[in-house]
Amino acid sequence: MKSNPSAEISTPDSSRWTTPAVTPSQAWTERRESAAKGTAIDSDDDKMTEECLRSEYPVILVSKEEKERLRRPWRRSLIIKLLGRTVGYNFLLQRLQRMWRTDASFDLISLDQDYFLVRFENLKDYESVKFGGPYMVFGHYLVSQEWVPNFVPKNNKVRKMLVWIRFPALPIEYFDDIFLKRIGTQIGRPIKVDTTTSLASKGRFARVCVEVDITKPLVSKFVLDFQE
């Protein structure tokens, strides 16, 4: 059976990065020293290496609680970029307002390297835009990805995106959320099954939103119970 990707674009998780964790003895030493100073150190997902801690520059450590406080306002945000073309802030804002027609307003924030960050006020608008599309501006794809902590535009490369995968002529008994996501894992990271598909009200094809790595060859076929 063939799978035809139709584009909704998103999120390079590959932009996430973590440095190697400290050893248990180092971590114990750091916490013991921290307790003596009355400052809690919790490196969370951003582990500080021994080299960083011995840097000639000031080292600013952030506790887990503080990270949660700082990141909470950005959880319903998307990072977007227009591939192959640069557009101005005001033009892009007006185009997105007309294209998305959200229930509530959203904030558009200009970042470096022609990236923009979009912060939504409500979850409905966030999910509608995230799973909608594909979005085109001047004939160019508008790539979007989920916001991730420690996003640095100059270090980010578009490697992963969300696409809608169609499975044509799939037998109706396989129109099951869990099973379709299982198929999706053979292509990438399954995100969502189309509502119409899950209700089995359209039996011509099944549709699953999958995060794919565009640097790798796309799977075009799969064998289901010995049938291609």
The answer to the question of residue 33 being in a domain is no
Strand order in the sheet with 106-110: 106-110, 116-120, 77-82, 140-146, 136-137
Residues 6+ apart with CB under 8 A from 164: 5, 6, 7, 8, 194, 207, 208, 209, 210
Are residue 117 and residue 177 in the same domain, yes or no? no
pLDDT over threshold 60, residue 18: no
Q: Which of 94, 67, 100, 96 is nearest to 81 (CA)?
A: 96
Same domain, 81 and 138: yes
The answer for residues whose C-beta is within 8 angstroms of residue 147's C-beta and 6 or more apart is 74, 75, 77, 78, 79, 117
More confident call, 67 vs 24: 67
Q: Do residue 179 and residue 139 come from a single domain?
A: no
Task: Confirm whether 192 is domain-assigned.
Answer: yes
- pLDDT value of position 133: 74
Task: Pick the last residue of a domain from 146, 176, 199.
Answer: 146
pLDDT digits (tens, 9 = 90+) for 90-135: 999 999 999 999 999 999 999 999 999 999 999 999 999 988 877 8
Q: Could you tell me the pLDDT band of residue 52, with boundaries at 50, 70 and 90?
A: low
Return the number of other C-beta atoms located less than 10 Å from residue 176's C-beta: 15
Question: Do 116 and 164 belong to one domain?
Answer: no
Q: Is residue 109 part of a domain?
A: yes
Of 104, 121, 146, the position where a domain reaches its end is 146
Single-letter amino acid code for the residue at 185: T
Q: Is residue 23 part of a domain?
A: no
111 domain residue, yes or no: yes
- In this structure, are residues 136 and 9 in contact, taking their beta carbons and an 8 Å threshold? no
Q: Max CA-CA distance within the chain?
A: 66
In-domain check, residue 46: no
Q: For the chain, what is the domain count?
A: 2
Q: What is the pLDDT averaged over residues 195-224?
A: 76
136 and 90 housed in the same domain: yes
Q: What percentage of the chain carries pLDDT values higher than 70?
A: 71
122 part of a folded domain? yes
pTM: 0.58
Which CATH number belongs to the domain containing residue 98 in this structure? 3.30.70.330
> Predicted confidence band at 45 (pLDDT cuts at 50, 70, 90)?
low
Q: Tell me what the mean pLDDT of segment 36-62 comes to.
A: 61
The parent domain of residue 184 ranges over: 4-13+159-213
Q: Are residues 117 and 90 in the same domain?
A: yes
Q: What's the pLDDT score for residue 106?
A: 97
Between 187 and 10, whose confidence is greater? 187
168 within a domain of the structure (yes/no) = yes
| Listed residues 125, 146, 167: the one ending a domain | 146
Mean pLDDT score, 3-31: 44
User: What is the structure's pLDDT at 175?
Assistant: 86
